[in-house]
Amino acid sequence: MSETPSQEARDRAESAVGCLLAVVGVTVAGAFALPRAAYSIDGGFEAHARDWGVILVDLPLILFAGLVVPPLCWAAATRRLRPWAALLVCVAVAGLALGGLAAWWHPRQGPDPGYGPGI
């Protein structure tokens, strides 16, 4: 029995890492986007500020990107790089994607802190 793993075992390991990256990506995207969109989902006082665009378009697209981008980046990077370098590339791409999202996406937030709940 040889000490080096077979090609099939390496392919299975790379596939498992891709699936794990998909789960981690959608979790991180949700943890990033849901608190920012909480006011648009809740709508504030009497739901007057509920934004259906955030609920039906923005959040599903952000979660879908979190699900798809890390495994696609992993698949593309493992073709040319070693697995540890591919993982670094995936982390860098995810960081750049979240940074771009933070710079571009500004859902409505609650009124200023001085605005109280009323009587």
Q: Under the phi-then-psi rule, with left for phi > 0, alpha for psi from -120 to 50, and beta for the rest, what region is 118?
A: left
Q: pLDDT, tens digit, for every residue of 29-47?
A: 999 999 888 888 887 777 7
Residue 70 lies in a domain: yes
Whole-number Å distance between alpha carbons of 91 and 10: 21
Residue 91 lies in a domain: yes
Residue 109 lies in a domain: no
Predicted TM-score of the model (pTM): 0.79
Residue 79 lies in a domain: yes
Please say whether the beta carbons of 33 and 57 come within 8 A: no
Residue 73 lies in a domain: yes
Percent of the chain at pLDDT exceeding 70 = 89
